[in-house]
Structure 1
């Protein structure tokens, strides 16, 4: 109950302050930055993606090959199973289960390593992008720059400016 009344009180204070300062309210300058677009469209983000692909492509191919091999062995076992003795069938089932466990382990490690590196790379891009946002905000005299919003009038979207500045600074 206290948190709700605190929010109402804060909102009331802000509204009353805005009513007293109509001249300043008119000069208030806000902008919006679409972080997803920066992480997708900036040269720095694209180069990070390329680095990740180069770093993990060999391991990804190994995992795919291992999965294909496991699938082939499983299909072969299904075809040959009726003609195998009980001991041969049991031995082949154990081998398939061991292969599957190894495959699952390697795939999980790959996904964890890729996720960790992706987080590192994106953190670097975001850190640099935030510095560029601050530079743009200071240079163009913005009072506030938002990064998340339900709706933003396209006139306030400065994402293209930030991407251009980020691309220029990474050359």
Structure 2
């Protein structure tokens, strides 16, 4: 394994850890210090509000997991995806790909922690005044930014050399 790949793996894992820490710290503050569940919704500035939502589904409330079996199935699925991505990181040859995978891993693990602890994910960032109907958290934002970076990486990805002879490319 080359040093560049090792450094990129370190970048991805450090980014994942940072997302987990920021996500869980923000949720601790929202739930325990600010006590948003008792307040419901609090306007902050402009279109930004803090609104408490317990999301039992996957991203943005899709596939609701109201039964315990579905809750643990979602936990298992997210852990499996995180493991797959953590293995993929070891082969990431580009910084943007490593960053994307790190963000997705960190976000997935952050939300798995909530789902395992509370049975639902704590969401609180509300920008519905901007016609964005979902309430989300730092983990959700990291996952979505990571997915966007994956698309950028696919578009900008390494160009494979082509030759005039198609059989040479296949070899």
What TM-score comes out, normalization by structure 2 length? 0.31
Q: Of the two structures, which has the highest relative contact order with CA contacts closer than 8 Å and spacing of 6 or more?
A: 1
Structure with max Cα Rg: 1
Higher helix share: 1
Instruction: Kindly indicate which of the two structures has a greater share of residues assigned to strand.
Output: 2
